[in-house]
Amino acid sequence: MFLKNVSILYGKDLKYVASTDLRVEGGVFKKVGGRPASGEKTIDCDGLLLVPGFVNMHTHIGDSIAKDVVLNGTVDSKIHPMMGAKQRILKNSRPDHLVSFMKNTCKSMLARGITTFVDFREGGLDGVRLIKKAASQVPIRPVILGRLEYYQDKQQIQKNAALDPVRKKELREILLESDGIGISGANENSDSALRHYSTARKIRAIHSSETKESVERSKRITGMSETVRALQLKPHFLVHMTFATKTDLVTAARGTRGIVVCPRANAALAEGIPDCLGMADAGCTVAIGTDNVMINSPDMFREMDYLWKVTMGTHKRGVKPKEILKMATVNGGLILGKKVGSIEEGYLADGFFVDKHAIDVEPMHDPHASVVQRVAEPAIRAVMVGGRMVHGNI
């Protein structure tokens, strides 16, 4: 497929190219420039901007069935892995209902330009299989991080209890059918368990320092920083870090590929705003996720717009729009170690086409700012995954 006269945000620096030609072949971006081959399918993209597909780096789409069920109460009362309302709802929901609503969320994400999403999937092996079934019915790219439905208490953590053989076997089965593991947090696992998880030869990630209470709980139980304990997983990335110290951030920058922030979810839970500027200053690569569907819509446009404005409001200086757009695209690919989130040769041909003449966008004086602050689903003409137009049309 040969795309003519298209505007693109090229490469890892999202360089704006006002008009070029782009060949897509074998599901990847093959070449920028050149001429169409004889008989090659050619599409005139005049007036369209191709943006790399969003990489939504943190979701829990299993709770799509529970939208806005719990609006009040503490974080633990809503989403605690052992006693939260979310867990009760998931356990009491029919599997076919869960699959149906997860599928709808996949469709919703795709329509908003999300071509890859990373899900922390609860429910053990059965949970992994349910989300695989849901995502298989939508042309979106899931990265599924499973977990044991097993959480250790204070006494087990202080005694450094190891995982028993049954749990270890179950973990091996989960890893066979998933892309890695997404751990609830250090406060639900002993050091021994975290070190065992660290041997997984797939993607490893963990929630860390999401709330003041979780940070204090770690120090109270173990005398150690929650982030320092989480790093025993040898995670590829940490999620949240809303209440991480400067020392935690520097340590994370050295020991992981990056941090994933979820600004709107943190705000909805009344748990502060992640310090993205501080994370960048510490040398962290930062990406964005939309977190629980139960409390937050999986919309990266709203996430980016909110992050820009709330950072400006709290710090009197915002993260530059281009940097925020990198968090939603390029940085996700870098953290995952996958060729996604960037329009360049050899990368998976994922992206969405923005109508530059859309009523809420035109005139587009600053393409990066326009995508971050003004583009929304109505301005998307088409979405491409692996070189196929899977939503809308040109």
Q: Give me the domains of the chain, ranges plus CATH numbers.
A: 2-52+341-392 (2.30.40.10), 54-336 (3.20.20.140)
Name the packing angle between helices 124-135 and 165-177 (round to 10°): 10
pLDDT (tens digit, 9 = 90+) per residue, 56-91? 999 999 999 888 776 666 565 555 565 566 666 767
Q: What are phi and psi of 3, to 5 degrees?
A: -100, 115
Site of tokens 């090229």: 10
Cβ(74)–Cβ(298) below 8 Å: no
How large is the C-alpha radius of gyration of the chain?
Answer: 21
Q: Which two tokens stand for residue 272?
A: 């502060």
Q: What is the pLDDT of residues 13-67, one digit of tens each?
A: 999 999 999 999 999 999 998 888 888 899 999 999 999 999 999 999 999 988 8
User: Helix, strand, coil shares of the chain as percentages rounded to 5?
Assistant: 40, 25, 35
Name the pTM for this structure. Answer: 0.94
Of 46-50, 130-134, 232-236, 314-318, which gets the smallest average pLDDT?
Answer: 314-318
Instruction: Using a pLDDT cut of 90, give the percent of the chain over it.
Output: 87
Q: What does the pLDDT read at residue 68?
A: 77
Place of tokens 């360049």: 344
User: What six digits make up the tokens of 347?
Assistant: 């990368």
CA angle 12, 327, 217 (to 5 degrees): 140
> Which residues contact residue 315 at a Cβ distance below 8 angstroms, ignoring those fewer than 6 apart?
277
